[in-house]
Amino acid sequence: MKKIHILNIALTFFMIWAIMFKFEMTEVLDLKISDLFYKMRGAAGISPHVVVVGIDEYSLSTLEVEGDTWPWNRDVYGKLLQKVFEDGAKVVAFDVSFTEPMDENTDAYFASTLLMYGNVVLGTYLINEKETYELFNKKLRENRAEQNVP
């Protein structure tokens, strides 16, 4: 009888957790647990070997004055890659999604700089909705057909 009682309690907790997860009620709990772990860890030192090049309002407005608006042409990223590798970077990571083709020449220039330096990580994102995935996949197939790519 005691085993059935423990099983009922476990199933009840599981059902409550599943309902909370389904309606995204666990997000606050997850954030609080993350906060607790960071407090327990304490302050982390910043490595002098890591440099973050951010895209902020200043950089956006500066390039806008020069006639290049957001999203930037890919040659801007290619020139940035060249500069940071010349300055001694070992690896570069982009937190920018390059999902749509732009000008063929600037895309080719950026692609060639990616190949030339090699140690470049490009960000991506996960598509959870089936409709979005199917639409994206359809656009990809159409682009490949236009370029005669099998």
* pLDDT at residue 79, as a whole number: 92
The per-residue pLDDT string of the chain (150 residues; one tens digit each, 9 = 90 and over) reads: 677 788 888 888 888 877 777 776 777 778 888 899 999 998 888 888 888 888 888 888 887 767 777 788 888 899 999 999 999 999 999 888 887 788 889 889 999 999 999 889 988 776 667 776 677 667 667 776 676 655
Amino acid at 113: T
Domain chopping of the chain, boundaries: 2-41, 57-146
Distance (Å, whole) CA 71 – CA 126 = 21
Query: For position 1, what pLDDT does the model report?
Result: 60
Question: What local confidence, expressed as pLDDT, does residue 148 receive?
Answer: 67
Neighbouring C-alpha atoms within 13 Å toward the C-beta of 60:
6
Rounded distance between C-alpha atoms, residue 64 and residue 100, angstroms: 20
